[in-house]
Chain A
């Protein structure tokens, strides 16, 4: 079946795909482009596991149509590490054991990246507030908050 031709930029690369009109950007990323970092938790914008950055705004990719991405700029968790060099946030999530099952982790990483880009020195409250759109049922959040605080500290010094 034919589809809508979309040309967009994903993690700096110009990317073209065909999608159906009712297909979400999350499904496009995962099923057509093999970018399986973003996860489908709820599919209704409640859990944040599918978080991506779209034109500098953190959004749930399950609440964006694939067709809407035409001409826009997408950042996913796959763009965070450079080769074997993990992003500071990824490294700090490992050091602080800020994950258990890992399903929520890509969403938290991208949400934390967006948070620190806009507020490089957040208070604990601002971190908790900024990440409130991401649900984790394993960690109890404390380790995630500490990892983000540590990453912020390191990134400020960098």
Chain B
């Protein structure tokens, strides 16, 4: 096993692309080191990306925010501008693990670990976040929901690294929220979860919506029919009921010790309603 700490993204990409055997990218390590300890992965090469310039920073750009791949979730919670613009994303990121884990874990790692139950991912998908990927043939930017392709699997090719997550500035009268169900009060893995991002007009009518469900399918689900259930309407009881029904129907969950299919379907609908209500209030809707 080799451990390297490149100073540039080009060097990191080159080392990953040229490596024989298994290579792993290390930022916070809160998934990687657990998997190494458990014997699930034995990388031949570990590429620590924390010394690459810019990857440990949150930048405010003309379009919004660029969150470097190595920024710990704790830092997201300390960024007042980001919290104000995207409270749902920050809340979701802050739900990951303990204070100890918060000091290390990253939203990019959460995304690339590709767990269906990743907390920050439905919130990022609802927010329309994009991933900037550096690779051997240059850079490309894709929707966050295009990164995970199955449990533990991503669409990233050999040598590719997500260097940042982009969040655009919120449109006026917009709000986002994320909720998950867990059987305890803190520090657990989502049984099912929902992220909602809404924009309303001056009359409180929803003009744009993105609803994403977590732990409801092999990958995060962007439920377009759920957006259609809200757009053009105020968030009244009828719209919320329709939202819940569509979300429950869109789920393709599994039965496991943490929840049954039936339970996950029902709770997905309930969480979508509640998250939508919070997002609506944050957008200024009454």
Q: How far is the CB of B111 from chain A (nearest CB, A)?
A: 18
**Residues of B1-35 whose CB lies within 8 A of A:** 1-3, 5, 26, 28-30, 33-34
Inter-chain contact B33/A24, CB cutoff 8 Å: yes
A120 within 8 A of B: no
Q: Is B37 an interface residue (CB 8 A)?
A: yes
The CA-CA distance from A44 to B74 in the complex, in Å, is 19
A102: Cβ under 8 A from any B Cβ: no
Evaluate contact between A65 and B26: CB separation under 8 angstroms.
Answer: yes
Which residue of chain B is the closest to A20 with respect to CB atoms? B1
Minimum distance in angstroms from B126 CB to a CB of chain A: 26
Known contacts A63-B30, A63-B33; decide if A58 and B46 are in contact (CB<8 Å). Answer: no
Docked Cα-Cα span, A63 to B2, in Å, equals 17
For window 92-123 of A, CB contacts with B under 8 Å fall at: 111, 114
Contact indicator A130/B99 (Cβ below 8 Å): yes
* B72 interface residue per 8 A CB criterion: yes
Check A59/B104 contact, CB under 8 A, given A4-B3, A21-B3, A67-B3. yes
Question: Is residue B187 contacting chain A, with contact meaning CB distance below 8 A?
Answer: yes
A133 close to B187 (CB less than 8 A):
yes
- Residue-wise interface mask of A (125-150) relative to B, using a CB-CB cutoff of 8 A (1 in contact, 0 not): 00001101110000000000000000
**A54 — nearest CB in chain B belongs to which residue?**
B103
Residues of the B chain whose Cβ atoms lie less than 8 Å from the Cβ of A111: 99-100
- For chain A, the bracket of interface size reads 20 to 34
Bound-state Cα–Cα, A65 to B28, Å = 10
Which residue in chain A gives the minimum CB-CB distance to B2? A21
Q: Return chain A residues, CB-CB under 8 Å to B5.
A: 67, 70
Which chain A positions have C-beta within 8 A of B28?
Answer: 63
Tell me whether B100 and A58 are in contact (CB under 8 A). yes
How many angstroms from the CA of A44 to the CA of B3 in the assembled complex?
20
A48, B1: Cβ atoms under 8 Å? no
Binding site for A on B (CB under 8 A): 1-3, 5, 26, 28-30, 33-34, 36-38, 46, 48, 50, 72, 74, 97-101, 103-104, 186-187
Interface residues of A (CB under 8 A from B): 4, 20-22, 24, 43-45, 48, 51, 54, 57-60, 62-65, 67-68, 70, 111, 114, 129-130, 132-134
The 5 A-B residue pairs whose C-beta atoms are closest, nearest first, are A133-B98, A57-B103, A21-B3, A133-B100, A60-B100
A-B contact pairs, 20 of them (CB 8 A): A21-B46, A22-B46, A45-B34, A48-B98, A57-B72, A57-B104, A59-B100, A59-B103, A59-B104, A60-B101, A63-B100, A63-B104, A65-B3, A67-B5, A68-B50, A129-B186, A132-B98, A133-B100, A133-B101, A133-B187
